[in-house]
């Protein structure tokens, strides 16, 4: 039996035992105005006499049914609470990254890892800019192409991209060099 089959079996047993369909339970929960899992579980147990496991499963199903569908865009969660200008900077950098060729994006906690055969860069939102981490061991550190030593040890350099205009020919050259090196 698969996990999905087991969950469906549990739901059927709850419906049979407590005399309501899962859709009826979801409607009751929505009508209650409760939104937190623990509150819903406690309410189902006290108001309707559900056993803890049944209340837990009904609460999980109800919350999942009202949750927005997951986004296909791994950047969305990173920029959800950031100013629109920061997302615009990311989108401008991403347009350049995408033009390089095939890039694998690996979402990490707080940033996006950019890979070819090996990792070559990362995009990390900050309060008012986007940090672009690059692996460019032969490049010298400058005021703009900073050392990444105190930023992230996986990268040699960091560029603080403060505006869309900062995605200029120099930055494009650094991106291309890091991409080619990962190749």
The encoded tokens of residue 129 equal 């800019």
Q: What is the mean pLDDT of residues 12-33?
A: 94
Domain ranges in the chain? 3-66, 75-181
Distances 75 to 82, 87, 126 between C-alpha atoms, Å: 11, 9, 13
Rounded Cα distance, 170 and 104, in Å: 23
**Is residue 72's pLDDT more than 80?**
no
Contact 14, 24 (CB under 8 A): no
122 vs 5, more confident? 122
**Is residue 109's pLDDT more than 90?**
no
Q: If pLDDT is split at 50, 70 and 90, which confidence band does 169 have?
A: very high
Strands 130-134 and 111-115: unpaired
Q: What is the mean pLDDT of residues 43-61?
A: 95
Q: What average pLDDT is seen over the chain?
A: 92
Q: pTM here?
A: 0.62
Q: What is the mean pLDDT of residues 160-183?
A: 96
Q: What is the mean pLDDT of residues 165-175?
A: 97
76 vs 15, more confident? 15
- What is the per-residue pLDDT for 77? 83
**Is residue 68's pLDDT more than 70?**
no
Q: What is the mean pLDDT of residues 130-138?
A: 97
């Amino acid at each position: 039996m698969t996990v999905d089959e087991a969950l469906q079996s549990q739901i059927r047993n709850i419906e049979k035992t407590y005399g309501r369909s899962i859709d009826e339970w979801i409607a009751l929960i929505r009508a209650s105005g409760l939104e937190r899992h623990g509150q819903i579980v406690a309410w189902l147990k006290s108001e309707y006499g559900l056993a803890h496991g049944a209340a837990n499963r009904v609460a999980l199903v109800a919350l999942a049914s009202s949750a927005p569908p997951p986004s296909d865009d791994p950047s969305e969660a990173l920029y959800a609470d950031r100013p629109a200008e920061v997302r615009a900077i990311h989108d401008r950098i991403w347009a350049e990254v995408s033009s390089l060729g095939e890039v694998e994006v690996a979402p990490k906690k707080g940033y996006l890892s950019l890979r070819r055969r090996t990792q070559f860069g990362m995009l990390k939102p900050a309060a008012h800019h986007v940090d672009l981490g690059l692996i460019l061991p032969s490049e010298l550190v400058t005021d703009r192409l900073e050392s990444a030593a105190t930023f992230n040890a996986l990268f040699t350099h960091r560029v603080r991209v403060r505006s869309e205009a900062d995605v200029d020919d120099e930055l494009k050259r650094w991106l291309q060099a890091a991409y080619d090196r990962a190749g």
